[in-house]
Structure 1
Amino acid sequence: MSTLEIKDLHVSIETEQGTKQILKGVSLTIQTGEIHAIMGPNGSGKSTLAATIAGHPRYTVDSGSITLDGEDVLEMSVDERARAGLFLAMQYPVEVPGVTMTNFLRTAKTALDGEAPSLRTWTKEVKEAMAHLRIDADFAQRNVNEGFSGGEKKRVEILQLELFKPKFAIMDETDSGLDVDALKVVSEGHNREFARGAMGTLLITHYTRILRYIKPDFVHVFVDGKIAEEGGPELADRLEEEGYDRFLAAAATGTVKA
């Protein structure tokens, strides 16, 4: 079992108006075999947490810590974090002109494992994963995400998840822009990998619809850079009914818990 532990994390960014603090003391522990959903209104710090874990250079960690099995994640480069077992499914996957899907996937897998996968076995795995995710086989020869629809890009993120087999998957609003059919396919892809029992998931979302397919063990409500409330799956149902008004009101009066 592996553990990703975030302790009293404070994070800021530089803006035209000066330094802006976004995360204001976030503590969270995730273990393999667990699914944690983070929900909250826009601007509450959800994606900032994901980007900070992954090592995005825009974000400055002012204090606090992130450790993976006791190792200091904040001291790792982005590629070292990936090799340690952290995977980010991006909210807005980027296009990579000039690099085919085939070359990208095998090069990335080689970098992660330290050795190239057996070509015969690897080709079979890629084809099977693409078929499960309903990605046309021709996409293997296309440039990464170039000309792909939003739904196709999200399926490619989950393709990487299935092939790279991380310890922890951080899914940053993977459900955004997906129709019902694509949402089911993407969720099933996550669930196939999760069923191996060797991965934990941090699932960031605004809505409960993806939680019908990816069942969380824990739900955390982010408001104003803090965790305002925590609970089980029933908390997501409550948010669906009530929205975030009571949390936003608490934030306005400074009563969100630290």
Structure 2
Amino acid sequence: MSEILLEIKDLCVRVGEKDILKNVNLKVNKGETHVIMGPNGSGKSTLVNTIMSNPKYEITSGKIFFEGEDVTEFAADERAKRGIFMSFQSPIEVPGISVENFIRTSKSAVDDKPVSVLRFNLDLSKRMKELEMKPEYASRYMNYGFSGGEKKKTEILQMQILNPKLAMLDETDSGLDVDAVRIVSEGIKNFKKDEDKALMIITHHKEIISNVVPDYVHVIIDGKIVKEGDASLIHKIEEEGYGWIRDEVNSSNGN
């Protein structure tokens, strides 16, 4: 059985009339952690939204494979059932549906079978305690009136309970205070205790991955992966920005 979990081949993506991603190639093996970085508007969120089959993003060419299966034409729910999860940069509010009901219904849909309410509630309580979420959050409407930190914790809660093979986190650290970053980081670390699980993390900061050292760092600029490296690349970008990478790209293109 192949260790390749996700493979993206020559992916080109358009939003409206604008081409965003241009011939992106990426492989994610089981157990790996990949960090995606780049300036605002470079195509990072477009990449993970396309992998999750957000209909706003149109694939104009290229393929997406998951565990060797071509999922390019699959809808989001079909990809979720195969083990792909995405944490949103700005989670939406869902008035009228409690956190508990939302996650339990999602779990049943992803697993394609009924969920034991007792077992689910025990697991939910345990995970919420680890994330330092008060028990009453379970009965509150999904993200309704939640702070930024509460929304991000709820996303990590979903990830842990849905237990995907690949979790994609889109700027989960955005707008979090120091304590929330620590708690969310621990949640990610706990998820990665299963050595087969893979992570893709979009971030501008190193704090969120302080507990999970990435295997690979990819830099997207103008819709292309232009630089790859290990965790040291994050530190250099934090210190120097992206200008030196743009200079390298321009130099290699003869500009």
TM-score normalized by the length of structure 2:
0.95
Aligned to 1:196: 194
Aligned to 1:131: 129
What pairs with 1:95-134 in structure 2 (closer than 5 Å)? 95-134=93-132
Q: What is the total number of aligned residue pairs between the two structures?
A: 252
Q: SS state of the match for residue 156, structure 1?
A: helix
Instruction: Verify the 8 A CA contact 2:215 2:231 in the aligned structure 1.
Output: yes
Question: Which digits, 9 at most, give the CA deviation of each residue in 1:110-161, with x for residues without a partner?
Answer: 1111112222211110000000001110011111000000000000000001
Unaligned runs of 5+ in 2: none
Question: Which digits, 9 at most, give the CA deviation of each residue in 1:189-242, with x for residues without a partner?
Answer: 111111112310011111222232321111111111111111111111111221
Alpha-carbon distance in structure 2 between the residues aligned to 1:214 and 1:90: 19
Instruction: Verify the 8 A CA contact 2:4 2:27 in the aligned structure 1.
Output: no
Code of the residue aligned with 1:240 in structure 2: it is E
Alpha-carbon distance in structure 2 between the residues aligned to 1:107 and 1:256: 50
Q: 1:256 to 1:65 in 2, by over 3 A?
A: farther
Aligned to 2:60: 62
Instruction: Verify the 8 A CA contact 2:4 2:68 in the aligned structure 1.
Output: no
Alpha-carbon distance in structure 2 between the residues aligned to 1:105 and 1:3: 25
Code of the residue aligned with 2:146 in structure 1: it is F
Structure 2 counterpart of 1:145, from 138, 143, 146: 143
Code of the residue aligned with 2:170 in structure 1: it is D
Q: SS state of the match for residue 67, structure 1?
A: strand
Instruction: Verify the 8 A CA contact 2:12 2:59 in the aligned structure 1.
Output: yes
Aligned to 1:7: 9
Instruction: Verify the 8 A CA contact 1:34 1:217 in the aligned structure 2.
Output: yes
Percent of aligned pairs with the same residue?
Answer: 46
Unaligned runs of 5+ in 1: none
Q: 1:89 to 1:164 in 2, by over 3 A?
A: same
Alpha-carbon distance in structure 2 between the residues aligned to 1:162 and 1:194: 10
Alpha-carbon distance in structure 1 between the residues aligned to 2:86 and 2:15: 20
Question: Which digits, 9 at most, give the CA deviation of each residue in 1:162-197, with x for residues without a partner?
Answer: 000000000001110011110110111111111112
Alpha-carbon distance in structure 2 between the residues aligned to 1:60 and 1:75: 11
Aligned to 2:43: 45
Q: SS state of the match for residue 221, structure 1?
A: strand
Q: Which runs of 4+ in 1 moved over 3 A?
A: 248-251, 253-257
Code of the residue aligned with 1:69 in structure 2: it is E
Code of the residue aligned with 2:56 in structure 1: it is R
